Structure formats: C-alpha cells, structure tokens
Amino acid sequence: MNIVLVEPEIPHNTGAIGRLALATGSTLHLVKPLGFSLDEKSVRRAGLDYWKDVDLHVWESFEELLAAHPEARIYFLSTKATKSAWEVEFQDEDFLVFGPETRGLPEEWLDERAIRIPMKEGSTRSLNLATSVAIVLYEAQRQVGGLE
C-alpha cells in the first residue's frame, strides 16, 4: 500500500504514520510543504529511531507524485465523501491520500475516488490523522491479505 500525506502539519502524526508504514510494509509519501523538518537532528530529537527504515518518498507537489505514478489507483480520504471505505475493493498498490490535519484535502479533489471512514452521526467532525490512516490501511491490508 501507499500512504500519501499531503502537506502534513503535525510531526507526531507523521511519525506515528511512519511506524504504521513500517509495520505494514507500506510506502509513505509526503507532499510538500511539510509543517516540520525531516533533517537528521529533528528526527533524532523526536525519538524516531525507526525512521531510517521507513520506505519514504518526499515530493515537491502532488502533481509530481502523480507524474511518477501515472497508473496509480488513488483514493482520497475525506469526511466530506459520501462513499464509505468499507465499499472499496482495495488492491495491493493503491494510494491512500490524506490531507493536512487542519484543512483536509481540497474540495475539488473529491470526486468518485473520495471515501470516508464511517462514524456515528453527530459524534465528532473528524478523527486524528494517524488514527484515520491506521483504520483504512489495515482494512486495505486485510482485504489484500498483506499481513499475517
């Protein structure tokens, strides 16, 4: 699986998602601008001793990522989507795209590929980014049989 974080803002979320990527054999794609530094000193200070093992790709823009993966099957995660993530039949190399913590993805990206995590109506406006990634990533992995 491919996890894409577009303009992530909170380093602790990205660190937790990096650990998820490592635990599931997924690739983590970060699309700039980032709300934090990934230099060695910052990563060490954050205690991310596993970061060097994460399959990480950093992109200047989402367009650059798309150009490098023209055949990618992409799903945009958003609370504004009408289709549930449970309705999707995931494939092994799908790209799961998540937006910035404070804004989410641009509305113009939310087409038929937009999916949401079902939540009890009126319970909360959204889930934490790392939690959302974990929910959808593990459902996708369950479907493709990627983990034991």
pLDDT digits (tens, 9 = 90+) for 70-109: 999 999 999 999 999 999 999 999 999 999 999 999 999 9
- Where do runs of H (alpha helix) occur along the chain? 11-24, 40-45, 62-68, 129-144
Distance, CA of 77 to CA of 57 (rounded, Å): 20
CA 93 to chain centre: 13
Higher-confidence position of 143 and 126: 143
Higher-confidence position of 148 and 13: 13
- Which two tokens mark 88? 């999707």
Which range is least confidently modeled, 21-25, 45-49, 82-86, 124-128?
Answer: 45-49
Distance, CA of 135 to CA of 17 (rounded, Å): 11
**pLDDT value of residue 46:** 65
* Residue 138, number of CB atoms within 10 A of its CB: 16
Look at strands 2-6 and 95-98 and give their pairing: parallel
Beta strands (DSSP E) in 1-148 are: 2-6, 27-31, 55-59, 74-77, 83-84, 95-98, 114-116
Provide the domain count of the chain: 1
Here the CATH number for the domain that contains residue 106 is 3.40.1280.10
**pLDDT value of residue 57:** 97
Query: Which amino acid makes up residue 42?
Result: S
Distance, CA of 111 to CA of 142 (rounded, Å): 25
**pLDDT value of residue 76:** 98
**pLDDT tens track for 31-71:** 999 988 887 777 766 667 888 999 999 999 999 999 999 99
Domain containing 99 equals 2-144
Distance, CA of 134 to CA of 108 (rounded, Å): 25
What does the pLDDT average to over 1-8? 97
